[in-house]
């Protein structure tokens, strides 16, 4: 398999982005030497992995940004022909205990502060119907950061108040919470304000398509 080193500069990263723009994801995978699954039902993260390899992201690195030397996070997002995002975007796992009190120190902000968005244009139902779009290196404007922070603080508020079961995907303007687990059967304990244990499915932070749409159109 062809392994690319992590890019040393933003210029190098952007050159790589231009190089894969327009490519079919299957062609990219073949070039790299990654096996191509029949469909994405049982390989949901496969496209993301292809792009990681194609751009030389440091795969298998935990809490660090994908491009560690540059401090940049990579996010692939499926879009239709009009560049409208088809899915919300996973950001990171959400501890169901209260996090750090400052948004700036949160994993969410760490991930979203500097992102390379790689749109994947979806033109049909097969895995062959996915091509790489034009990448966008992005940092949130101050106004957006405020909204994200406010969403994040709202969510922390639910946790601090022991309202885990009331914390649904409906909470949050741009940033919200969704289940993140192998299935709804996976349960983790959390401590209520009464000191009792309750159980809930693990959660993740996601951003809504309304926001990714604004990002991809250059509005955010």
Partner DNA sequence: CAGGATCCAGACGTGGATCCGT
Partner DNA sequence: ACGGATCCACGTCTGGATCCTG
| Residue 198 backbone phi and psi in degrees, to 5 | -125, 170
49 is a contact residue toward DNA (CB under 7 A): yes
Beta carbon nearer to DNA, 114 or 178: 178
Q: How far is the CB of 105 from DNA (least distance, A)?
A: 15
Per the CB < 8 A criterion, the answer to whether 99 and 149 are in contact is no
**Alpha-helical segments (H) within the chain:** 10-20, 25-32, 46-55, 107-112, 142-160, 209-216
Q: State the binding string over 145-174 for DNA (x if CB under 7 A, else -).
A: -----------------------xxx----
Beta carbon nearer to DNA, 210 or 217: 210
Give the orientation angle of helix 46-55 with respect to helix 10-20, to 10 degrees: 120
Gap between the Cα atoms of 168 and 183, Å rounded: 16
- Residue 218: how many CA atoms within 13 Å on its side-chain side? 2
- Please count the residues of this chain forming the interface with DNA, following the rule CB under 7 A: 50
Applying CB under 7 A, among 18, 30, 87, 97 the residue interacting with DNA is 87
Gap between the Cα atoms of 168 and 9, Å rounded: 40
Q: How far is the CB of 125 from DNA (least distance, A)?
A: 8
117 is a contact residue toward DNA (CB under 7 A): no
Binding site for DNA (CB under 7 A): 39-45, 47-49, 51-52, 59-60, 62-63, 66, 73-78, 87-90, 92-93, 120, 168-170, 176, 178-186, 188, 201-202, 204, 208-210
């Amino acid at each position: 398999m062809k392994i690319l080193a992590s890019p040393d500069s933003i210029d190098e990263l952007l050159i790589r982005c231009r190089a894969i723009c327009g490519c079919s994801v299957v062609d990219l995978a073949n070039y790299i030497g990654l096996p191509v699954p029949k469909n994405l039902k049982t390989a949901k993260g496969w496209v993301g992995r292809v792009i990681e390899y194609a751009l030389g992201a440091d795969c298998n690195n935990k809490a660090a940004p994908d491009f560690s030397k540059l401090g940049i996070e990579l996010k692939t997002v499926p879009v239709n022909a009009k560049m409208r995002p088809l899915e919300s975007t996973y950001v990171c796992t959400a501890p169901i205990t209260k996090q750090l009190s400052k948004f700036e120190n949160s994993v969410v902000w760490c991930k979203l502060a500097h992102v390379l968005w790689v749109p994947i244009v979806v033109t049909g139902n097969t895995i062959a119907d996915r091509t790489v779009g034009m990448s966008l290196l992005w940092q949130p404007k101050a106004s957006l950061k405020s909204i994200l922070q406010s969403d994040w603080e709202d969510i922390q508020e639910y946790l601090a108040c022991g309202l885990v079961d009331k914390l649904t995907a409906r909470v949050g303007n741009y940033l919200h919470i969704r289940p993140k687990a192998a299935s709804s059967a996976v349960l983790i304990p959390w401590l209520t304000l009464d000191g009792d244990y309750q159980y809930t499915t693990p959660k993740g932070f996601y951003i809504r398509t309304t926001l990714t749409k604004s990002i991809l159109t250059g509005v955010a």
